[in-house]
Chains A and B, each alone.
Chain A
């Protein structure tokens, strides 16, 4: 079974802090994705990556950056957390086009 692991289920941070959300997949998938999920808005794509050190902006990249130094690990970085970044963050991975995306359990981030 595909396993996508997000390092934290819950995080509480202060405004202005730098925040790292980590995601690891164990299936040698090429593509990895970061989404945020807010009530009534569904899943919105922040960034995705198709290879080590390669990344593409999604629909809402402002205020976020990403890092993919190893194929299995994809990190989402909030350089200076703000209250409007309080949300559920979901990581996913897939083999590529035409393939299923598998999701991690999510990190619920609260920025106070």
Chain B
């Protein structure tokens, strides 16, 4: 039973488009939600969200958390081919052992020139 569900699983867009990636979760005693970007190597950290309604932003990427509705979105504006990657969402529960994360299956984003 998935605790973290990402949608869509796959997305193809053209350069310049804006995309929204979704992550819903179901964990008890939520602590934090993290977004990672994975190209053909190590997942790299993008954002950690702990509070509802506070947008985190880094360049063209932004993310927000809704703890009432139990989801987060990751927005990418003016997409570039370099944004092509798997985007991973992960959640930590306060009750989880030792800071373990529960990952979603990821969204494969492909940006065509």
Count class of interface residues, chain B: 20 to 34
Chain B interface, >50% SS class: mixed
Across the two chains, which residue of chain A brings its CB closest to B43? A103
- Tell me which residues across on chain B come within 8 A of A98, comparing CB atoms: 31-32, 92, 99
Q: Which of A12-20, A41-49, A69-77 contacts B (4 or more CB under 8 A)?
A: A41-49
Over the window 16-47 of chain A, the binary record of Cβ atoms lying under 8 Å from chain B Cβ atoms (1 yes, 0 no) is: 00000000000000010101000011111100
Cβ of B109 < 8 Å from any Cβ of A?
A: no
* Interface stretch (choices B14-22, B51-59, B70-78, B100-108): B100-108
A84 on interface, CB distance cutoff 8 Å: no
Closest chain-A Cβ to B105's Cβ sits at a distance in Å of 4
Contact A48 B32 (CB under 8 A): no
- Residues in A with CB closer than 8 Å to B48 are 100
Contact status B105-A97, CB under 8 Å: no
Instruction: Please determine whether A45 and B32 come into contact, CB atoms closer than 8 angstroms.
Output: no
Interchain CA distance A102-B42 in the complex, whole Å: 9
Could you give, for residues 76-110 of chain A, a 1 whenever the CB lies within 8 Å of some chain B CB and a 0 otherwise? 00000000000000100010111111111110000
Interface size on A, residues (CB 8 A): 27
Do A97 and B31 touch across chains, with their CB atoms under 8 A apart?
yes
A48's contact among B34, B36, B43, B98, by CB below 8 Å, is which? B98
Q: A42-B105, A43-B103 are in contact. Are A100 and B41 (CB under 8 A)?
A: no
B42 near A105 with CB under 8 A, answer yes
A4 within 8 A of B: yes
A33 B41 Cβ-Cβ under 8 A:
no
Distance between Cα atoms of A50 and B45 in the complex (Å) = 21
A residues near B, CB below 8 A?
Answer: 4, 31, 33, 35, 40-45, 48, 50, 56, 58, 90, 94, 96-106
* Chain B residues engaging chain A, CB cutoff 8 angstroms: 9, 31-32, 34, 36, 41-45, 48, 88, 90, 92, 94, 97-101, 103-106
Q: A31-B99, A50-B98, A102-B45 given. 10 additional CB < 8 A pairs?
A: A42-B88, A43-B103, A44-B103, A48-B97, A48-B98, A58-B100, A98-B99, A99-B99, A103-B44, A105-B41
